[in-house]
């Protein structure tokens, strides 16, 4: 097929014929004939059948219309493409660009958008000691009245009291700027997750960078690292994300892992850059992760966020179940109590403790989960301490290999022995406090009660990714923990037993059963490979990629934030729903780390499995030993 068609008439016809639920998409839920005849400009007709090919046709017609074309030439290769080719091409050539932001005049209108909060102006906050950026944005504020900007310089010391005042005027935190070849300042680009998450997030960026590297976008991944260095320099930490309401918390630490990936894939090795990168990594490690706030008496670290009150980025009714008992206690309606609490007109010590833990949960990235709710700040979690063990090992390895085992930073000389000693100590404590050989799990440790939590979570596999587990522990984890957490569509965030019963008073939490998340999948694939369990990694990668591709094919190219891996569906309604599912005609972004997981996941499959995936053969038809798969 190689025909020229009128865009508008065919677009109107296909929507009328196939989009029976009028959502501007063609999916398996539509009740149309699933057979459409394209009409060429010469009057010839060509048949297109099946949901996937019809949705591809709809997307191509819409893209042509959006670009102002009245006619378009269509080919077999476009319309009857294989699913893997289609999704891979969209991610590489369309979605990454759709998710890329810069904070400068030319890109500000897109970067400043924030659906999570409402303000009378578009506030931009500049670090105290970045005079260049302050002058630049003040000039933009003066000249571009239509942007409705208010540019504010942050104080040199950002206190919790000051953060409370910022919640009334939340805004965007600038990132690194650099002069281009013409001498003009430009913001360094970064990738956002997508949808309501229109800023650069801490751990999302690591997984996104792995996908960018697969797609030959090392430059963009390096730029993300440079923006992290800027955050450490000017905001004191790698931020949860670059908005003011995230200033008091970080996210799971992956900086050394990102640096290693960038270094490994760089054709030109710049030792000065690596030295700078290690300096920022060590600075973040010292000032955040082993600081007084986050280092517990056990010698292990915890997640923690300073401040008070409800996180301002949440929906107004998000904490209704939490606030209702306190409203009753104070003799107020729920709405009255919430408003008074937000305005600091009322306080309750028990509620303040709840939100102390809630901020810790949000720093963990696992927001939210019954694993952490109400106790997070008291936990030495498996995930955080595995990540920090890897920091210590990564720094040791890079110093030894690239700097002849001696790296001097700010007057201090570091050797690999120093960092190996720290890693060995952390590993010893993790094994003593967290490992349960009988149950086959690494459990979080509550240092207040002095007990393991016993909560069965996918984070039990982080020690495999960090190369912290022994070979015996790896074998036990795979024999005991994996069967409890592996589902039809991949790895679930927790077991149903640990999550417990769900009710109106105890609603679902999105980082629990039955939901599956990118970090858990990708870290487990690599962890299994580290210990020689390649067949397990292959099976789990296939399950996850099948889930992505099945939903992509059946639902007009949908690539969401997360999945229900028990039922292999993107139709998730926990908390705020599922980002990446609301769009017309064609997704412009997919979702950042989900895009990356697909590109990286393909590396774990051989050609035979890739062919089977293209044919959408369910994993249970391939992996006969899988007793938990659903048809």
List the structure tokens of 371: 């694993």
The reply to whether 456 belongs to the active site is no
- Closest of 495, 430, 438, 433 to residue 469, by C-alpha: 430
Nearest CA among 495, 488, 475 for reference residue 369:
495
367 part of the active site: yes
Element (H, E) at 179: strand 177-179
Backbone phi, then psi, for 122, in 5-degree steps? Answer: -95, 100
Q: One of 208, 367, 444, 538 is an active-site residue; which one?
A: 367
Exposed/middle/buried for 138, CB within 10 Å: 0-12, 13-18, 19+? middle
Q: State how far the Cα of 215 lies from the Cα of 210, in Å rounded to an integer.
A: 9
- Displacement of CA 252 from its chain's centroid (Å): 11
Give the SS3 label for residue 491.
strand
CB count, 10 Å around CB of 100?
Answer: 19
Annotated catalytic residue within 130, 284, 383, 561: 561
CB 74 within 8 A of CB 38: yes
What is the C-alpha separation between 97 and 194, in angstroms, rounded?
11
Whether the Cβ atoms of residue 445 and residue 453 lie closer than 8 Å to each other = yes
Cα 389 to Cα 257: distance, rounded to the nearest angstrom: 11
User: Collapsing DSSP states into helix, strand and coil, what is residue 600?
Assistant: helix
Distance CA 49, CA 27 (A): 12
The gap from C-alpha 459 to its chain's centroid, in whole angstroms, comes to: 15
State how far the alpha carbon of 138 is from the alpha carbons of 57, 118, 231, 233, in Å.
Answer: 46, 22, 20, 22
> What are residue 281's DSSP bridge partners?
none
Residues with catalytic function:
367, 561
């Amino acid at each position: 097929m190689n025909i020229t068609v009128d865009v508008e008439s065919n677009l109107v016809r296909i929507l009328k014929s196939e989009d029976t639920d009028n959502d501007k998409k063609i999916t398996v839920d539509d009740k149309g004939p699933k057979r459409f005849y394209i009409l060429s400009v010469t009057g010839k007709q060509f048949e297109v059948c099946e949901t996937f090919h019809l949705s591809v046709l709809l997307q191509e017609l819409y893209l042509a219309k959006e670009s102002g074309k009245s006619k378009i030439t269509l080919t077999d290769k476009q319309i009857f493409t294989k699913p893997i080719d289609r999704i891979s091409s969209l991610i590489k050539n369309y979605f990454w660009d759709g998710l890329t932001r810069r904070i400068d005049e030319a890109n500000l209108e897109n970067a400043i958008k924030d659906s999570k909060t409402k303000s009378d102006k578009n506030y931009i906050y500049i670090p105290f000691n970045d005079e260049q950026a302050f002058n630049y944005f003040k000039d933009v504020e003066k000249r571009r009245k239509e942007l409705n900007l208010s540019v504010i310089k942050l104080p040199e010391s950002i206190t919790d009291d000051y953060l409370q005042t910022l919640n009334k005027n939340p805004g965007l935190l600038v990132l690194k700027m650099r002069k281009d070849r013409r001498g003009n300042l430009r913001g360094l680009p970064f990738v956002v997750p997508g949808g309501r998450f229109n800023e650069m997030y801490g751990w999302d960026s690591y997984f996104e960078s792995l996908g960018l590297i697969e797609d030959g976008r090392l430059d963009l991944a390096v730029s993300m690292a440079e923006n992290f260095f800027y955050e450490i320099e000017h905001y004191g930490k790698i931020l949860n994300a670059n908005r003011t309401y995230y200033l008091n918390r970080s996210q799971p630490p992956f900086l050394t892992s990102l640096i290693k990936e960038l270094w490994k894939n760089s054709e030109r090795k710049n030792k000065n850059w690596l030295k700078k990168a290690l300096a920022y990594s060590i600075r973040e490690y010292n000032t955040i992760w082993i600081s007084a706030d986050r280092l517990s008496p056990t010698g292990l670290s915890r997640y923690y966020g300073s401040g008070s009150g409800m996180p301002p980025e949440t929906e107004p009714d998000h904490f209704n179940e939490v606030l209702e008992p306190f409203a009753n206690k104070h003799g107020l309606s729920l709405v009255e109590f919430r408003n008074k609490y937000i305005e600091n007109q009322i306080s309750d010590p028990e509620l303040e403790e709840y939100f102390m833990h809630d901020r810790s949960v949000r720093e963990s990235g696992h927001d939210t989960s019954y694993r952490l709710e109400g106790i997070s700040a008291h936990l030495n979690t498996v995930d955080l301490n595995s990540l920090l063990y890897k920091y210590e090992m990564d720094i040791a390895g890079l110093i030894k290999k690239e700097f002849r085992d001696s790296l001097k930073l700010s007057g201090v000389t570091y050797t690999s022995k120093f960092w190996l000693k720290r890693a060995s100590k952390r590993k010893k404590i993790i094994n003593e406090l967290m490992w349960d050989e009988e149950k086959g799990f690494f459990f979080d440790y509550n240092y207040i009660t002095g007990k393991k939590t016993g909560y069965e979570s996918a984070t039990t596999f982080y020690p495999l990714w960090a190369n912290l587990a022994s070979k015996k522990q790896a074998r036990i984890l795979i024999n005991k923990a994996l069967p409890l957490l592996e589902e039809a569509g991949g790895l679930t965030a927790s077991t149903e037993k640990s999550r417990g019963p769900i009710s109106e008073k105890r609603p679902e939490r999105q980082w629990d059963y039955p939901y599956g998340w990118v970090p858990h999948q990708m870290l487990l694939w690599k962890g299994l490979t580290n210990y020689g369990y390649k067949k397990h990694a292959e099976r789990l990668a296939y399950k996850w990629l099948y889930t992505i591709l099945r939903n992509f094919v059946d639902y007009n190219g949908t690539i969401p934030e997360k999945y229900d891996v028990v039922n292999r569906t993107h139709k998730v309604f926990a908390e705020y729903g599922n980002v990446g599912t609301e769009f017309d005609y064609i997704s412009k972004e997919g979702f950042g780390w989900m895009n990356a997981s697909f590109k990286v996941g393909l590396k774990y499959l051989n050609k035979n499995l890739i062919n089977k995936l293209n044919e959408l053969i369910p994993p249970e038809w391939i992996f006969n030993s899988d007793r938990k798969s659903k048809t």
